Amino acid sequence: MNTENHSEIASFIWSIADLLRGDLKQSQYGRVILPFTLLRRMECVLEPTKGAVLDAAKQHADKSETVQDRMLHRAADQPFYNSSPLSLASLSDTQTGQDLMSYVHAFSPQARAIFDHFNFEDFVQLLEGNDLLYQVVQEFAAVDLSPQRLSNFGMGSVFEELIRKFAESSNETAGEHFTPRDIVHLATSLVMTGEEDQLQPGKILTIYDPTAGTGGFLSEAEAYVKSISDEVDVSVSGQELNAESYAICVGDMLIKGEQVENIKLGNTLADDQLRGQTFDVMLSNPPFGVDWKKVQTQVQKEHKERGYEGRFGPGLPRVSDGSLLFLMHLVAKMRPAEKGGSRIGIILNGSPLFTGGAGSGESEIRRYLLEKDLVEAIVALPSDAFFNTGINTYVWVLSNDKPEQRRNKVQLINAVDRYAKMRKSLGSKRNYIPESDQDAIVRLYGRFEETDESKIFPTQAFGYRRITVERPLRLNFQASEERIRRILEEKPIQKLDEGTQVNILAAVDAMDGEPVYRDREAFTKALKQALKARDVKLGAPQLKSVLNALSERDPEAEPCTDNKGNLEPDTSLRDNENVPLTESVYDYFEREVRPHVPDAWIDESKKDEKDGEVGIVGYEIPFNRHFYVFKPPRPLEEIDADLKECTDRIKQMIEELSA
């Protein structure tokens, strides 16, 4: 088999875009090149059986459509066929568009529908209107995309390379369509590691991707399984939002002989088209940091009405980032452990690890995952590993049927230094993970041991209780000129008639010159007497407003109490403490808080809704903290030497310029 580099083939195909320059917009190049590439690949795949299909079409022309369809599939020996005697090379130069659409309409229904998703006919007309169609057709007819020259894996890589070029030329985001193959292979290997015993002959393994893109994860997972055992049947399912990515995914699956009925088009979060189904293995790379405003109504409705019977029972993340929704969607499709369980591999950015405090949607989702013991491992990937972003990313591995040694534990693997530099950057992708490093990461995961790169924690280690710490309100009071002026700024006082306002000010003014009160009860008594002397009667809101205007915070004052003698908290001094779940909140308070603020107390009314205990439960996974290595600063002498060398060099340059 010719092993010509798929990048060279993709570049050659893309060079056909030179024909389009000036007549089509750059953003339209990919919309021509992608469907023509798929069409040519399908043509090459069908070439060996084309004669047999044409013979079958003549032989069964008088039969029903159902019989014809069955016989043509059999003759083609593929999941699709084309019953037209035409080919790209034989299209007429005078009625190219008519012949081409006749050729495309002769595909079997599933294959024909692919070109509808590309809006292929519209672009055929556009090319024909610019006298370009015949030239483009002839160029593609000359490209050899036969399986003998290019494997299915290689063809998938060609599609992805073309999409990347298309995205770059139109300022779109290639990363929304597919995941780099090195990341796909690593994530798949992590999820499938340890499952070899489950891949018995005759077993049907179901694989699912809710953000299927061009089908990279599905193809890689299937290839992984087949590398272990050819006798395992693989059934792939997926859903994809982008019509063109969906079309390429379906086309790729058809070419490889896959059934494509379970590859769906649509928004997974708003409309789960495989609702109720469960799967053995699930893989996904949802978009990083993309909001879910467009599906907010549907998601919130499902959360409210279906609760834990639906996909989003534990909680909803903030609208600005929907990645955790995809994770919960996958969890909802896990097969019960007693029926074999499921495994999940999902790529997320750093936000799902720690965004959101105790009680937030994100924290409640983490709480659900950890308390249900679903998180098996989290692997930190190198930066600059994706086409559209250089941010830190992580592979989460989840299982609802953990082996005994992993029960109630989470493994964190720091693989940020496991990479090599790309010879040439592809978008934001400057680094890739070589196979040797992929193997090393998978071994770290499989050994489940503590090393510099691998840490193991009990699930409770990531949980805490957020307690509210209060301190008493302490105020002093004085009828000074400055404070008296503030009385009329109080809204309840402003609502009183002018005569009453004058009397209030006169009564308070009479108290001017008295010492500063540091006891609210004593000052209140004196204030009431002054008001009574002026025959002023105030309701509780107005009296409170006068006291507020005449007060200032004073750490030396007596604590304020309510009518029942309970201490009033000072909201400006209110604080929160996160107490590890493994520790008593009261023991923690006495050790960490009381010695510093002896008058503080825990607000015991703030309790967790789920367990009723004092303190709101929260979960976060501070990944970087667990792998932080302190590096002492350099000696001052070394820094001074560097500075001197730098200044000497600058002086020398200035002298050379002056000479």
Domain ranges of the chain: 6-172, 175-409, 475-553
Tell me the pLDDT band of 175, cut-offs 50, 70 and 90. very low
Average pLDDT value for residue range 415-439: 89
Longest dimension (CA), the chain: 116
pLDDT tens per residue across span 365-391: 999 999 999 999 999 999 988 877 778
pLDDT of residue 636: 86
Band the pLDDT of 632: cuts 50, 70, 90: confident
Q: How confident is the model at residue 238 (pLDDT cuts 50, 70, 90)?
A: very high
Residue 223: pLDDT band (50, 70, 90) is: confident
DSSP 177: T
* φ, ψ for residue 297, nearest 5 deg: -60, -50
522-to-134, 210, 515, 519, 569 alpha-carbon distances in Å: 98, 68, 12, 5, 19
* CA distance linking residue 502 with residue 268, whole number of Å: 67
Q: What distance in Å separates the CA atoms of residue 39 and residue 301, rounded to the nearest whole number?
A: 42
Average pLDDT over residues 330-344: 95
Q: What was the pLDDT predicted at 1?
A: 33
CA–CA distance from 22 to each of 137, 149, 163, 168, 609 (Å)? 18, 33, 21, 18, 64
Residue 230: CB partners within 8 Å, gap ≥ 6?
A: none
Following CA atoms 371, 375, 376, 382 in sequence, which dihedral angle do they give, to the nearest 10 degrees? -140
Tell me the CA distances in angstroms from 486 to 276, 489, 528, 557, one per residue in order: 65, 5, 18, 21
**CA 516, 519, 520, 525 torsion-angle sign:** negative
> How buried is 30 (Cβ within 10 angstroms: 0-12 exposed, 13-18 middle, 19+ buried)?
buried
Kindly tell me if the per-residue pLDDT of 640 is higher than 90: no
pTM of the model: 0.85
* Mean pLDDT of the 35-42 span: 94
Specify which residues 417 forms β-bridges with.
none
Q: Name the DSSP class of 295.
A: G
Given this model, what pLDDT does residue 197 score?
75
The reported pLDDT for the residue numbered 634 is 81
Q: Distance (Å, rounded) from C-alpha 636 to C-alpha 141?
A: 70
Give pLDDT, residue 546: 96
**Whether residue 621 has pLDDT greater than 50:** yes
Q: What is the pLDDT of residues 525-572, one digit of tens each?
A: 999 999 999 999 999 999 999 999 999 999 999 999 998 899 999 999
The mean pLDDT value of the chain amounts to 91
Give the residue ranges of DSSP H helices in 170-215.
181-192
- Cα 327 to Cα 346: distance, rounded to the nearest angstrom: 7
- In this model, does residue 89 exceed pLDDT 90? yes
Phi then psi dihedrals of residue 449, to 5 deg = -130, 155
Mean pLDDT of 86-104: 94
- Cα separation, 496 vs 599, whole angstroms: 39
Distances (CA, A) of 206 to 235, 279, 427: 5, 5, 33
Neighbouring residues of 414: CB distance < 8 A, sequence distance ≥ 6? 380, 452, 453, 454, 455, 623, 627
Residue found under tokens 């499902």: 302
Q: Give the pLDDT score at 548.
A: 96
The answer, yes or no, to whether residue 401 has pLDDT greater than 80, is yes
Residue 631 in this model has a pLDDT that exceeds 80: no
Sequence-separated (6 or more) residues with CB below 8 Å from residue 32: 17, 20, 24, 123, 127, 136
Closest Cα partner for 186 from 390, 391, 433?
433
Per-residue pLDDT band at 428 (split at 50, 70, 90):
confident
- Both ends of the chain: CA-CA distance in Å? 67
Looking only at the bridges linking them, the beta strands covering 263-265 and 233-240 are parallel
| 315 Rama sector, left if φ>0, alpha if ψ -120 to 50, beta otherwise | left
Secondary structure (3-state) at 266:
coil
Of the listed ranges 63-72, 267-276, 321-330, 622-631, the one predicted with least confidence? 622-631
Q: What does the pLDDT read at residue 263?
A: 94
In this prediction, residue 2 has a pLDDT band, given cuts at 50, 70 and 90, of very low
Pairwise pLDDT comparison (452 vs 158), residue with the higher score: 452
Name the strand (E) or helix (H) holding 602: strand 601-602
pLDDT at position 633 is 84
pLDDT (0 to 100) of residue 176: 53
Please state, in angstroms and rounded to a whole number, the distance separating the CA atoms of residues 22 and 530. Answer: 89
Per mean pLDDT, which range of 121-125, 254-258, 414-418 is the poorest? 254-258
What are the CA-CA distances from residue 643 to residues 190, 636, 648, 657 (Å)? 48, 10, 9, 21
Neighbours of 199 (CB within 10 A): 18
pLDDT in the model for residue 6: 77
Within 10 angstroms of residue 201's Cβ, the number of other Cβ atoms is 9
CB 567 within 8 A of CB 601: yes
- Confidence class for position 442, pLDDT limits 50, 70, 90: very high
What's the CA gap between 493 and 503, in Å, rounded? 12
Instruction: Among 3.40.30.10, 3.40.50.150, 3.30.930.10, 3.40.50.720, name the CATH number for the domain at 175-409.
Output: 3.40.50.150
pLDDT tens readout for residues 480-516: 999 999 999 999 999 999 999 999 999 999 998 888 9
For the CA atoms of 323, 326, 332, 336, what is the dihedral angle to 10 degrees? -90
> What's the whole-number mean pLDDT along residues 331-345?
95
- Calculate what percentage of the chain has a pLDDT beyond 70: 97
CB 248 within 8 A of CB 34: yes
Q: What is the rounded distance in angstroms from the CA atom of residue 505 to the CA atom of residue 396? A: 67
